[in-house]
Structure 1
Amino acid sequence: MDLTQLMLILATVVGVVDGETIKAKNNHGETATVKLACIDIPAQKYRRDAATQRLKQLLVQNSPVVIRFADTSKNDQIVGEVFLNNQSINLQLVKEGKVVVHKASVEKDCYESRTQYLVAEANAKQRGLGLWEKSRYVMDGNKNK
């Protein structure tokens, strides 16, 4: 197991940037942008807006969270899985059909929980939840990044 898989960051939510990005402050008062690992949102504005609104409902300002560090993005954002009350917010968004599983990221950044992500997405799709509502969802020509 890679040491970075064990890095947990205790933080407080400062705000939601979009449906897959938050701002959080650690115990030392340092603020960072955190990209939620293992998920992706379609490019359509209304889809992004729905995911953003739901994330704002789940992570209100000053919510205490734990971030499981997964990686650092090209623009020096933390990439991680965000937990509130011991529940993965990333996985919750997939369960509700607000986002899809980012196939490459789930293999790399959420390896141990990848099955949960894939099953959650399949269930959301089968139940027609969120972006699967009309069962016609195709992402970028059926390429799931």
Structure 2
Amino acid sequence: MKKQLFILFLIISNFIISQTFTGKVVGVKDGDTMVVLFENKPITIRLEHIDCPEKNQPFGNRAKQFASDFCFGKTVVVIGNGKKDRNGRWIGEIFYNNQNLNKELVRNGLAWHYRRYSKSANYADLETAARKKKVGLWRDKDPIAPWNWRKSKRNKVQNL
């Protein structure tokens, strides 16, 4: 009995700490927010380390389409950090066929490395490489980071 309880404890502890699970992507809200069905319950996932352009921002729809092509309707592995953002979305990385959606978005110039919330050198390097190659949004003369885009929209509303 003690052995069974210990094994159950390890399984539950591992799930709570790492939040790793497999589920089917049933929704793509935008480039960096997916809905994954896990045990018949929808779980909203905010992609960790990155920030994609907003839908009404240049490359916003391309980022959403890329994410949709990558994983919509597919069974994926979600590796979460065990935390939620201020909107109640679980934060994590999504993998399909051993490819990391978060990294592919940055590699293809469809997301920024979100340095405010991520200190990952790997994501920083991916963004630097995409900028040098001028892929995706890095083709624009002066791309606007999504956090600045959102801030400018909030300021416009406040000044009305």
TM-score bucket (shorter structure): 0.7 to 0.9
Match of 1:128 among 130, 134, 143: 134
Deviation at 1:52, TM superposition (A): 0.6
TM alignment of 1:1-145, pairs within 5 A: 6-26=18-38, 28-43=39-54, 44-61=56-73, 63-70=74-81, 71-107=83-119, 114-139=120-145, 140=148
- SS of match in other structure, 1:74: coil
Q: 1:127 to 1:135 in 2, by over 3 A?
A: farther
Structure 1-normalised TM-score? 0.82
Structure 1: segments with no counterpart, 5+ residues = 108-113
8 Å Cα contact 1:5/1:68 also seen in 2? no
Identical pairs, percent: 26
- More displaced 10-residue stretch of structure 1: 123-132 or 69-78: 69-78
Aligned residue pairs total 132
Which structure 2 residue ranges, 5 or more long, are not aligned?
Answer: 1-13, 152-160
Over the residues paired in the alignment, what is the CA RMSD in angstroms?
A: 2.0
Name the SS of the counterpart of 2:59 in structure 1.
Answer: helix
Following TM superposition, by how much is the alpha carbon of 1:138 offset from its aligned partner in structure 2, in angstroms?
A: 3.8
Q: What's the counterpart of residue 110 of structure 1?
A: none
